[in-house]
């Protein structure tokens, strides 16, 4: 997780953005240049670099953005990442449950949630989109569909890293759900839960969200996660919800979200960003406005406890991101760029 904070590469301008935040200046919204030339793919957090490479195997050959965003995040799902795929941290009962969705340029979309023992939830989401009249399948029904579609049922076993993290978590079984917005709603109502903000100040979040534009100028997106580590059994965040964790409108742009899912859902986050771009805002300005809306909906004392970030692309291939707090970065790959970029944020810490 801490690797996400170690940005592998900075563009000169990205570095300047960080400097600006440290010195208290807001970063100009035009800091990052328009990407000229398709294709382009962007994805959340450090794992995005490898995922973008996977996507590029499709995009670089002139392939379709939909195929690219599936193949790209498959890379992360297959890695033993703490927060994506079967190597991820379990829920508080010790089971890994996965959420994913995918959306194409025709507004076709598919989603799975609370899915267990399947290695590539995003690919199951694509099958839901392509082979059923529905958008979303959950739990045992999603698993049954996956098996019927030929996806192998993997062993129910935690990775060594997840087992160690779970054993450690069980020592205190801490419950601090910062998303609860209702006065006097006792945090312990629902039993133990993991804090989103770790004691070392890092955010206990990870998800891979990816959006891409292909050589035809068409947009698609995908999002896949294990959600919050040690979550309540059955909890879903924003990631599998079309309009919250992901939204694509091929006339306008595409957006994906990461961070505190409950607060992304509250404002229909990714859809909001796309609608703001429709009104003429740049991707970064749209992400920023949506983040401000998240902050307005959360009690001031809770806003320090959560992280939310949006990452967007518009129809011109211009990309942008914004987060509540520093520490969010995204990976970009185009014909002439392959690097991590540091997002600006609403707060300085
Ligand atoms: N958005 C994800 C969720 O709430 C978690 C994350 O991005 O870290 O499930």
User: 227: Cβ below 6 Å to ligand 1?
Assistant: yes
**153 pLDDT exceeds 60?**
yes
Ligand 1 atom nearest the C-alpha of 206 is 8
- What pTM, to 2 d.p., does this model score? 0.86
174 is catalytic: no
CA 26 – CA 311 distance, rounded (Å) = 18
CA of 345 to the centre of ligand 1 (A): 18
Q: With pLDDT > 90 as the criterion, what percentage of the chain qualifies? A: 71
> Over the stretch 294-338, which tens digit does the pLDDT of each residue have?
999 988 878 888 899 999 999 999 999 999 999 999 999 999 999
> Over the stretch 50-96, which tens digit does the pLDDT of each residue have?
999 999 999 999 999 999 999 999 999 999 777 889 999 999 999 99
User: What H or E segment, with its residue span, contains residue 123?
Assistant: helix 121-131
CA of 259 to the centre of ligand 1 (A): 5
**8 pLDDT exceeds 50?**
no
**186 pLDDT exceeds 70?**
no
User: 209: Cβ below 6 Å to ligand 1?
Assistant: no
Region 25-345: CATH code: 3.60.20.30
> Over the stretch 115-136, which tens digit does the pLDDT of each residue have?
999 999 999 999 999 999 999 9
Please report the pLDDT score of residue 349 as a whole number: 77
Buried/exposed 174-192: b ≥16 CB within 10 Å, e otherwise: ebebbbeeeeeeeeeeeee
CA 308 – CA 257 distance, rounded (Å) = 7
Report DSSP state, residue 307. Answer: -
Given the residues 97, 207, 225, 256, select the one marked as catalytic: 207
Please report the pLDDT score of residue 178 as a whole number: 55
User: 48: Cβ below 6 Å to ligand 1?
Assistant: no
Please report the pLDDT score of residue 298 as a whole number: 87
CA 326 – CA 342 distance, rounded (Å) = 8
Q: With pLDDT > 70 as the criterion, what percentage of the chain qualifies? A: 80
Quote the tokens at residue 164.
Answer: 């160690």
Q: Answer for the pair 346, 324: CB distance below 8 angstroms, yes or no.
A: yes
Q: Answer for the pair 339, 317: CB distance below 8 angstroms, yes or no.
A: no
Segment 9-16 shows an average pLDDT of 31
- List the chain domain ranges: 25-345
Please report the pLDDT score of residue 90 as a whole number: 93
- What's the pLDDT band for 37 if we cut at 50, 70, 90? low
Quote the tokens at residue 57.
Answer: 């195997």
In 3D space, the residue among 51, 27, 135, 28 whose CA is nearest the CA of residue 332 turns out to be: 51
Residue nearest to atom 4 of ligand 1 (CA): 261
Q: Answer for the pair 313, 213: CB distance below 8 angstroms, yes or no.
A: yes
């Amino acid at each position: 997780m801490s690797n996400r904070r170690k940005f592998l590469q900075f563009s000169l301008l990205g570095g300047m953005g960080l400097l600006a935040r440290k010195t208290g200046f807001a970063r100009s919204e035009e800091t990052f240049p328009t990407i000229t030339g398709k294709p382009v793919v962007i994805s959340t957090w450090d794992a995005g670099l490898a995922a973008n490479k996977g996507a590029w195997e499709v995009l670089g050959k002139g392939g379709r953005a939909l195929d690219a965003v599936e193949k790209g995040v498959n890379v992360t799902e297959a890695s033993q990442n703490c927060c994506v795929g079967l190597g991820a941290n379990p829920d508080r009962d010790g089971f890994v449950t996965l959420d994913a969705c995918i959306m194409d340029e025709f507004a076709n979309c598919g989603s799975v949630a609370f899915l267990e023992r399947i290695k590539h939830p995003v690919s199951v989401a694509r099958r839901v989109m392509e082979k059923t009249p529905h958008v979303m399948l959950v739990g045992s029904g999603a698993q049954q569909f996956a098996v019927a579609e030929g996806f192998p049922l993997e062993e129910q076993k935690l990775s060594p890293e997840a087992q160690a993290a779970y054993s450690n978590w069980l020592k205190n079984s801490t419950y601090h759900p910062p998303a609860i917005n209702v006065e006097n709603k006792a945090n312990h109502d629902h039993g133990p839960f993991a804090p989103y903000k770790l004691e070392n100040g890092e955010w206990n979040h990870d998800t891979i969200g990816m959006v891409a534009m292909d050589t035809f100028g068409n947009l698609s997106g995908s999002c896949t996660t294990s959600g919050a580590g040690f979550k309540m059994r059955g909890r879903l965040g924003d990631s599998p919800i079309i309009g919250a964790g992901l939204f694509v409108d091929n006339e306008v742009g595409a957006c994906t979200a990461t961070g505190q899912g409950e607060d992304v859902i509250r404002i229909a986050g990714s859809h909001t960003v796309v609608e703001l771009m429709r009104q003429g805002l740049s991707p970064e300005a749209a992400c920023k406005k949506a983040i401000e809306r998240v902050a307005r909906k959360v009690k001031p004392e809770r806003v320090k406890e959560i992280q939310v970030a949006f990452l967007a692309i518009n129809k011109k291939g211009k990309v942008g991101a914004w987060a509540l707090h520093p520490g969010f970065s995204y990976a970009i790959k185009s014909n002439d760029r392959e690097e991590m970029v540091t997002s600006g944020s609403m707060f300085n810490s």
